[in-house]
């Protein structure tokens, strides 16, 4: 796993632009006491996955809209978030996250104390994993059930594996291609999803 980079911003504009470089352009509104803004982020990339950990330091309203080309997986490590994924609403807190899909408009409200883990999973990485099983490149995209329960069973096992992979002493951390495929394959095995026509 590549090392994390650390960022800190004291303006809404700088925070929005900095986060957008790792995720996607979005609208951001922070409800702060006075004019103080203190946004912190750590981030790393490996192949088709991007990991960020975000602390907005305030109630945050974030509107990515359509996340073209990737699925954002968001889990509060602390605090609480309300996520609107298309027509679905997910209340998330530690142990319960959200897995959004590119074809579903996304917006969220995060509590002041939220520390959010965000995993960006590119669609082409999911397509490669599906192709390795099917023997051909799928022509359709996936829409996941946005409610991601990580409190028990397969969800908890997967979440523990994700956290293990982020440790520098994890035996497989250096084998990036294998780690990426493993995490996606296991996610597909337990998280409900359906296929939809790929957006042009």
Read off the pTM: 0.91
Delimit the domains of the chain by residue range: 5-197
Residues in the chain, pLDDT under 50: 169-176
Instruction: State the greatest distance between any 2 C-alpha atoms of the chain, in Å, as a whole number.
Output: 57
| pLDDT in the model for residue 175 | 45
| pLDDT in the model for residue 45 | 86
Over residues 137-151, the pLDDT tens digits come to 777 889 999 999 999
> How many of the other CB atoms lie within 10 Å of CB of 57?
20
Say if CB 73 and CB 118 are below 8 A apart.
Answer: yes
| pLDDT in the model for residue 170 | 45
| pLDDT in the model for residue 172 | 46
The superfamily CATH assigns to domain 5-197 is Jelly Rolls (2.60.120.10)
**SS in 3 state form for the chain?**
CCCCEEEEECCHHHHHHHHHCCCCCCEEEEECCCCCCCEEEEEEEECCEEEEEEECCCEEEEEEECCCCEEEEEEEEECCEEEEECCEEEEEECCEEEECCCCCCEEEEECCCCEEEEEEEEHHHHHHHHHHHHCCCCCEEEEECCEEECCCHHHHHHHHHHHHHCCCCCCCCCCHHHHHHHHHHHHHHHCCEEEEECCC
| pLDDT in the model for residue 2 | 62
């Amino acid at each position: 796993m590549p090392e994390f980079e650390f960022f800190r911003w004291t303006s809404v504009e700088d925070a929005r632009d900095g986060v957008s470089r790792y995720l996607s352009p979005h609208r951001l509104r922070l409800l702060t006491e006075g004019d103080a803004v203190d946004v912190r982020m750590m981030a790393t990339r490996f192949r088709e996955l991007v990991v960020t950990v975000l602390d907005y330091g305030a109630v945050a309203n974030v509107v990515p809209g359509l996340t073209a080309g990737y699925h954002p997986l968001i889990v509060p490590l602390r605090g609480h978030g309300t996520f609107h994924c298309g027509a679905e609403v997910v209340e998330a807190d530690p142990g319960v996250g959200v897995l959004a899909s590119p074809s579903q408009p996304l917006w969220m409200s995060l509590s002041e104390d939220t520390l959010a883990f965000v995993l960006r999973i590119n669609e082409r990485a999911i397509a490669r994993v599906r192709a390795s099983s099917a023997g051909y490149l799928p022509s359709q995209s996936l829409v996941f059930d946005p409610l991601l329960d990580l409190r028990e069973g397969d969800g908890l096992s997967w979440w523990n594996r994700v956290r293990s992979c982020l440790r520098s002493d994890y035996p497989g951390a250096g084998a990036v291609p294998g780690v990426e495929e493993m995490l996606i394959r296991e996610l597909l095995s337990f998280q409900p999803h359906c296929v939809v026509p790929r957006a042009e």
